[in-house]
Chain A
């Protein structure tokens, strides 16, 4: 896929990093403010998709992005399952919240295992949306002449 005009590239270079950091903020503060893993992961994926659309990609870059996003998606899913199994073996129930009263409520360090679940879900959603986009928009599948 080809890149876009220099105007779009300059704007994307300035804005893309901020979108990525905003997505990370939404994921990390999901238990205190609106947002969470689903919203933050989608915002991170939107930032990455903006960079790919503005600067363009070659076929080899698409192939490596497809492989690495598959790996990240499996990692996110396995992390979420690991948190659930940790609850089973330590606390006695599947998905029990470990140490829910640790830290002061309203601060970043609180709510037990909810922030870790948020991070796992964020990684998974971001990688899933990015891999769908990479496949749908790749140069290999152009039908119109």
Chain B
């Protein structure tokens, strides 16, 4: 488990760099570092399906960010501006929320006790009966496309909506009257 903790510390450090650095291109590259660390973590957590998807999607997401930044500007001009009273209030509220979030998150996850848990009924049914019921060796595929295929249909709808939204927002010429 030590390697996962080291990986998570690296992810948090790269995330702080991505949030605080002045150059937006460097910020996006630090975000890519976090994404690749997530992919390595998926391999450590015995999830090769997720690792493949995460690597490719991370590359594409960095490409999208860079395509936007190259068209506009890559200097964050809002850093270094003096803070006003309202900003300090925002920081205080965020600090209080962070403390409460960590406290209740620890209390909630302590009841979960993930690393020593026996597999639940549903998961062991998928593992033992999945091949006989669906014929797929890869149990993740059998869950995605057979047991919970309606969820996948909803996902396809969300992706379709996102593409339509992008096409509609970036249309330059208005409707002909």
Chain A: residues with CB nearer than 8 A to chain B?
Answer: 26, 30-39, 42-43, 45-46, 49, 53, 66, 70, 73, 77, 80-81, 84, 94-95, 97, 100-103, 105-106, 110-112, 114, 117-118, 121, 124-125, 128-129, 131-133, 135-137, 140-144
CB distance from A92 to the nearest CB of B (A): 15
| CB-CB under 8 A for A32 and B53, given A131-B167, A132-B166 | no
B48 and A34 contact, CB distance less than 8 A: yes
A31 and B142 contact, CB distance less than 8 A: yes
CB distance from B92 to the nearest CB of A (A): 37
List which B129-152 residues lie within 8 A (CB) of chain A. Answer: 131-138, 140-142, 144-146, 149-150, 152
A31 and B137 contact, CB distance less than 8 A: yes
CA distance in complex: A71, B80 (Å):
47
B45 within 8 A of A: no
B56 and A46 contact, CB distance less than 8 A: yes
| CB-CB under 8 A for A32 and B137, given A133-B67, A135-B166 | yes
Does more than half of chain B's interface fall in helix, strand or loop, or is it mixed?
helix
CB distance from B1 to the nearest CB of A (A): 23
CB distance from B144 to the nearest CB of A (A): 7
| CB-CB under 8 A for A36 and B156, given A42-B57, A111-B134, A117-B149 | no
B141 and A36 contact, CB distance less than 8 A: yes
Partner of A39, one of B53, B133, B136: B53
Partner of B153, one of A81, A101, A112, A143: A81
A43: chain B residues at CB < 8 Å are 52, 56
CA distance in complex: A140, B71 (Å):
11
B159 within 8 A of A: yes
A114 and B153 contact, CB distance less than 8 A: no
Chain B: residues with CB nearer than 8 A to chain A?
Answer: 48-49, 51-53, 56-57, 59-60, 63-64, 67-68, 71-73, 131-138, 140-142, 144-146, 149-150, 152-153, 156, 159-160, 162-163, 166-167, 170, 172
Contacts across chains A and B counted by CB atoms under 8 Å: 143
B170 and A46 contact, CB distance less than 8 A: no
Chain A minimum-CB-distance residue to B52 = A39
List 7 interface pairs A-B (beta carbons < 8 Å), by A numbering.
Answer: A34-B52, A97-B134, A114-B134, A132-B162, A133-B60, A133-B63, A141-B71
| 11 further interface pairs, Cβ-Cβ under 8 Å (given A36-B138, A105-B135) | A30-B138, A32-B138, A35-B52, A43-B52, A77-B156, A95-B153, A97-B134, A101-B135, A114-B141, A125-B159, A143-B71
